[in-house]
Amino acid sequence: MDLSRREVVKGAGALAAVAAVSNMSFVAGKAFAADGDKPLRIGIIGCGGRGTGAVGDLLSSSENVVLTVMGDIDEAPLNSSYNSLKGWEAKGKFAVKAENKFVGYDAIQKVCSHPEVDLVIQTTPPGLRYLTLRAAVENGKHSFVEKPVCVDAFTYDHVRASGKMAEEKGLGIVCGLQYRRENSYKAAIQKVWDGAIGEVVSAQSYYQSSIPWITKGYGVKQGWTQDDMDYQLRNWLSFTWLSGDCITEQDIHSLDAIVWALKGPPTKAYANGGRQEPIRSGVGDGFDSFAVDYTFKNLQGNEIQVAFYGRQIPGADGKNFNRIVGTKGYMDFFPNPGNSRALMFEHGNPKPVWSTDDIAKHNPYQTEHAENIAAIRAGKPLNDIPWVSDSSLACVIGRESAYSGQVLKWKPFVDSKFRIGTDKLASGKAELGVKGVRVPGQYKVPGYVK
């Protein structure tokens, strides 16, 4: 139950797709605040490895919670998840009836409108999370939404609107960027904010790894092609409209630390990127490497440059690391969920002057759920959407700069409201706004005006 996201996503199966949602709603946060003994009933959309792990983390984190409803587009991952989680039944935390297992393109509608669900775990592909979040909010459900929450400017606007709706309804939304809940990261970020390294003048960010998983055939039936919706949903990591590409789906963990430390998203991006390792050959449309020169404003309002490097290429050296440089010194971040470290240095001194080594360790995958549920029960639900949407789009703007070869500015990029995907989800050809491997200099970001 304590598997990391990157471990569980290797086995991720096909995830739920979306249909229309109903408009029934209620203020669930107030209901739970008034009745602290009421069990919090959990539904899940997307029963692959990440979804199964998230349910396990939630059930481990809190008492008086129970999984009641499950949904996925494909029966195989749903049944696998069901069998994996059924062990919680002995502790009274699993009560999924046969009739509460939903398979198909209407799974989200059925899970989110179900009267036996109070909180929805949303672990569908990233490109569908704007739809799952809206479905949960309109049906009066609290949410745990995996990162990232958007893949283009259109879905960015959509999730931010859902976040406002949730706030008005008293609904909680917590996102799966676990370092935001880790004590070591929080202490180090606070040091930066307190001026311990002086005024921030630059930063470097890295997420260089192997490819987590890729397949040409999981759950694929004879006759399907890569243009088919059914194929793409079962191989979502390879398609940008569903995954956001590796810079968005995976590298957001590193870039979010920069957005967090600087209290806001970049003002522009200028990037390179490409697609070169042979495992991806002929599969999907994503890149495997990105190098982005971001412009941010520091806490004093002065422009600084942030260099980001990300790749998913087997056999190459890995590096997952952030450095924030100030006028007095610098802070190094070494992410490792539950065992992350941060070290602070003064310029010219090779020995750290402060570290997080004495800060209590904990499981941030469980902490994010525990905080979400505690806030719901207290009648003060959390809402992560304002910051997680900015971090998600910071990745997207870097990606689109690499795809196009253009310098992209934040406000025109947001205002473009461009989209690469579709909400027309059904078997058959995927009717996408943008498809195919982008070629810098030839591809232009739809709707973007300098």
Q: Is the CB of residue 394 less than 8 Å from the CB of residue 156?
A: no
d(Cα 66, Cα 64) in Å, to the nearest integer? 7
Residue 340 lies in a domain: no
Same domain as 256, residue 239: yes
Query: Into how many domains does the chain fold?
Result: 2
Looking at residue 35, its pLDDT comes to 57
Q: pTM to 2 decimals?
A: 0.92
Residue 424 lies in a domain: no
Start-to-end CA distance of the chain, whole Å, equals 47
- What's the Cα-to-Cα distance from 102 to each of 47, 187, 269, 356, 390, rounded to whole Å? 11, 42, 42, 45, 33
Same domain as 156, residue 63: yes
Residue 438 lies in a domain: no
Q: Which residues of 393-405 are buried (b: 16+ CB within 10 A; e: fewer)?
A: bbbbbbbbbbbbb
Residue 254 lies in a domain: yes
Residue 447 lies in a domain: no
Q: Residue 204: count other Cβ atoms within 10 Å of its Cβ.
A: 18
Same domain as 289, residue 250: yes
- CATH value at residue 408: 3.30.360.10
Task: Reduce the DSSP state of residue 246 to 3 states and report it.
Answer: helix
Same domain as 260, residue 145: no
Identity of the amino acid at 380: K
Same domain as 274, residue 163: no
Same domain as 302, residue 275: yes
Same domain as 204, residue 114: no
- CATH value at residue 142: 3.40.50.720
Same domain as 320, residue 261: yes
Residue 336 lies in a domain: no
| pLDDT tens-place values along the chain, 450 residues long | 233 444 433 333 333 333 333 333 334 555 555 455 789 999 999 999 999 999 999 999 999 999 999 999 999 999 999 999 999 999 999 999 999 999 999 999 999 999 999 999 999 999 999 999 999 999 999 999 999 999 999 999 999 999 999 999 999 999 999 999 999 999 999 999 999 999 999 999 999 999 887 766 667 788 889 999 999 999 999 999 999 999 999 999 999 999 999 999 999 999 999 998 777 777 899 999 999 999 999 999 999 999 999 999 999 999 999 999 999 999 999 999 999 999 999 999 999 999 999 999 999 999 999 999 999 999 999 999 999 999 999 999 999 999 999 999 999 999 999 999 999 999 999 999 999 999 999 999 999 998
Same domain as 403, residue 377: no
Looking at residue 276, its pLDDT comes to 87
Residue 400 lies in a domain: yes
d(Cα 189, Cα 440) in Å, to the nearest integer? 36
Residue 422 lies in a domain: no
Q: Is the dihedral of CA 68, 73, 79, 81 positive or negative?
A: negative
Same domain as 402, residue 253: yes
Same domain as 146, residue 249: no
Looking at residue 1, its pLDDT comes to 29
Same domain as 302, residue 171: no
Give the residue numbers spanning the domain of 219: 199-326+391-416
Q: Is the CB of residue 226 less than 8 Å from the CB of residue 280?
A: no
Helix boundaries (H) for 307-421: 364-377, 385-404, 410-416
